[in-house]
Amino acid sequence: MLDLFLTDLIQTGQVTVPNQIVDFDAYTSDRAIILLEEYYWADALTMPYTAPRFDPEAALWAAKYIFSTIQLVLLRDIGEEKLNQLLVDYNGQYTPEAVYSADLMLRFLPDIFRFASGLSPEDPLIYKLKAIARLWPFSSIGIADINVTIGDKIPDHPSLRVAYIDRLILKKDMGRINSKHELKLVKEALGAYQAKLWPGLNLILNEETI
């Protein structure tokens, strides 16, 4: 089921999930990794500089997380204990490779937040989603009301750094500009087109807190 889910999500952006929780068997997981790597090679062509290498462990974890999250938005009778069993944190190393490979699926987090907008802010699922959005800032640009620290893995990798700033500008996510360094990168990317591409940015250029 996971492999079919990925095929639909990658090709059409529309998915169907079963109305009951399913297990991810070895065959389905192996097939999912093949699809994710194919997607990686196509997506990497759009990245600036050279994209980080494919990390199958991070990509598969993210695919399962997104699949289960969509199910849990729909299946509201699932208890918190089961929710925590399904939505587990990534236990591998947080590397540039993991950041980009997980992003192949985690980039859909903002869409899932909109999909789950009818849920209470106190819902355990919303709590989990906000937690994962904070842990994976490269993928969660545009999600409001979360405090994010990007650390060094994104700024220190040329491809991730430029892609992150491009996404920030595209989403006009002012809440992500938390340092002078980030502001400098945004201003350099905008150049002479700042007023046209991000008119409201001038409101924060002279903030003493940055």
CB 49 within 8 A of CB 30: no
| Distance in angstroms (rounded) separating the CA atoms of residues 80 and 85 | 9
d(CA 105, CA 9): 9
How many whole angstroms separate alpha carbon 172 and alpha carbon 157?
A: 22
Number of Cβ within a 10 Å radius of residue 207:
10
Once rounded to an integer, what is the mean pLDDT over residues 152-160? 93
CA nearest neighbour of 90 among 101, 74, 79, 75: 101
Is the model's pLDDT at 88 over the cut of 90? yes
79 Cβ contact list (under 8 Å, min separation 6): none
18 versus 95: the higher-pLDDT residue is: 95
Q: Is the pLDDT of residue 27 over 50?
A: yes
pLDDT at 23 exceeding the cut of 90: no
Query: What whole-number distance in Å separates Cα of residue 13 and Cα of residue 116?
Result: 17
DSSP-derived letter for residue 49 is S
Mean pLDDT for 102-112 is 95
Tokens of 91: 């236990």
CA 204 to chain centre: 26
Question: Which pLDDT score is estimated for 208?
Answer: 43
Assigned token pair, 130: 């906000």
